[in-house]
Structures are given as C-alpha cells and as structure tokens.
Amino acid sequence: MTPFRPHGKGTLAEASLQSFVIEQASSVGLLGLVGFAYAAWFRQHRAAMGFVLLLWLALGLGATPLAKLSELSLAHDLTPTVSGWLPWNLLLVASLPSFTVASRAFFAVIVVLLLQLGIPLMIDPATLATMPSFSERIGALAPGNLSRWLAPLPQLVVLAAAFVFFLRWQKSDQLTELALCLMGSLMLLGVLRPDWLFWCVVGAMALLMLGVFITTHRMAFIDPLTHQYNRRALDYTLTHLSRKRQFAIGMLDIDHFKRINDRFGHDFGDHVLRMVAARIRSARGARVYRYGGEEFCLLFKGRSLREAVLRCNVVREAVAARPIAMRSPRRPAHKPLKKSAFREKVPSVKVTVSIGLAHSTEADADPAAVIEKADKNLYKAKKNGRNQVVSGRIRKS
C-alpha cells in the first residue's frame, strides 16, 4: 500500500490520506520552488540541485497540484519509478562538481530527471507494473549467488551519496553540504520504507531550506577569514542595544600590521589575522567583531569599566605571549594523527595589539559616541608606545 496513489476503491483511510497529500501538494511544491530560487540567488548551486531532486521526487509521487489535473498521472503509479532511480540520482548530485544553474550541465541533469518521469507515463500501467527497476536490472546482471548479495545495493548507494556529502562538508565547512548529508540519511529511510517517502521529502526540504538560510546568514554577518562577526553584525547589534544597561566598547588594532604584510606577504598577514582572532576569544564576556582590516571591536554588555579593562588586558597578554609561527610550504593541510609526523623549525613573528576602551554609565548614552571615544583612546595607546590598553568613560553632557 502506498499513501500517494491508492488504486481502485481503497479503504476510507487510504482515501483520506490521499486527499490530505494532494491538499498539501501546493505547500510542498511551493517550498521546493522557493528553496530552489533562494539557493540559486545566493549561489548555493549544489543546494539548488538538491531542491531539484526533491521536486522531482514530489512530482513523481504525485505530491503536486498536477496530480489533480492530470488523469494520466492518476492512472500511473510512479512511486516504484522514483524509488528505483532515487539512489542513483542522489549519488549523481553528490558526485558531480558544483556548477551554476544557468549552465548546460545543470539543464542536462534536469532533462534526465524529467525523462525518468516522462518515459514511464508513455508505457501502459499494467506493463509498467511488471517492469523491473534500475537496481533490479543491475542485480540481474550479477552471476550466480552474487545477485543475492547485491539486494541491498540501493541502500548502499544512498549511504555512499550521504558519505560523499559528508566529505564535502568536512572539506568546505558549508552547512548546505551537511544539510545534503542529512537529506541523504532521510532518503535512506525513504528507500527502506517507501510508504514514508513523501514525509521524507517534506523533511528533507525543510532541512535543506534551513541549511541554506543559515549559510546565507553566515555570509551576511560572519567574516569569512576570521570567522568572527563582521561590521554589519556590529551595526545591527548597536542599533538594538538596550540603553538601560551599561556597556563598554574596545577597539583593538594589530600593531605594525602593514609592516608585517610588506615583509612577509599578505598570505602570512591573513594567517596573523586568523591567529589573533582566535586569541581574542579568550576575552570571555565580550562579543568580538572584525571592524575592518586589522581592527577588531570588543563589545562588553553589562560590564563595569574595571571588568572590561581586565578582560582587554587578558586579550593583549594572550596575543603577545606567543609569537606567531610562519606556515611552512611542506606543512600538511590537515592536522597529522601523530604529533611527531611533522616537525620543522620555522621563523616566527612577535605580534602585539593596542586597545582603546570606552565605557558608558549613562542610560541614554549613544553607542556611536562610545565607539568614537574608544577610537580616540586607541590612537592614544599607539602614540604612547603600543601594546597597551587605554580606557575612558562617556558621560552625559
């Protein structure tokens, strides 16, 4: 029994479930189309292909408004067709390189998916019901007892596709790849239980949509180099900052950063930015933003001036305590399993930071004025010899 296309009179429960699925068809199709458009707009091309695959599944299961209008689709149960092709299509999406939605390759994949649905509609339903699936054809080609061992082949193919998505996620750190990996896990459940396949499609669409939303949020508010909040996130936070709580803002600048770039190159300069950002995280109680270039902003909510000064000094000392080593060209891209697998003496550079801190004890203090005062204190710290914290207060005039 399938809840998508019960044939004949069927039971009342089957008819009710069929009616419910068709009533929810427009929502499922709309979710998939919106997800595809959103992913394509923000250049998440593999996620867009994932939505195309889910729309193909929904269309094959009859979970679109077309199922109401097409008598031909009502006469054909395409559930076995999409169930048979699903593992291989999922592996295809996982293994193909990422290409734009406007490319010929993307269009070719869509044509292949549509042919998989269109050709069975041209075949008589009785004949279609007796035809073996693609996975069954592959199993039939195996000699002797080998075909028995190939029975779980569809499940293994889905697992392989999910593993490929997992490897891509490990390499790229893109949440859309993780969402595609979870989608593959849901598709495995759908292959094992075909009567759950429709609900697996709905869940996979929701997961993929969530992954695209989180990825685009990170693109908008997270700095890709240091993985800290960016200037846009700071502006948004300051706009909604409660004036009833005291707060402090610290402006941090890497000392002689231009000299580091000119002497060692911009690649090492980027490495210094990443390392400094990692050490800034030691300031617990502060939210860190990359303000621009080599400048960072530390926002302390509900902290006194004394607490903010102490935490800024912790940051300053953490950065200056250990020189930053240059990366060797022979250094492996990933951390070796054994600590002794790679040992090489490389030159290191001592890096220090200067911090200007401003604090407000007034309920209606303007955050822009606090930043301006912190910036002035930063220039004082640099003028006084760098590698120090200069603090001050903003009071109501």
- Helix, strand, coil tally for the chain in percent (to 5): 60, 10, 30
- Indicate the SS3 state at residue 394: strand
- Indicate the SS3 state at residue 115: helix
Residue with tokens 């929904």: 58
DSSP class per residue in 256-323: THHHHHHHH-HHHHHHHHHHHHHHHTTSTTEEEEEEETTEEEEEEES--HHHHHHHHHHHHHHHHHSP
Phi and psi angles of residue 323, each rounded to the nearest 5 degrees, phi first: -65, 155
- How far, in Å, CA of 60 to CA of 40, rounded? 23
From the candidates 294, 344, 362, 372, give the one annotated as an active-site residue: 294
* Cα dihedral 202, 207, 211, 217 sign: positive
- How far, in Å, CA of 270 to CA of 264, rounded? 11
317 is catalytic: no
In angstroms, the Cα distances linking 118 to 54, 157, 209 are 16, 24, 27
Catalytic positions are 294
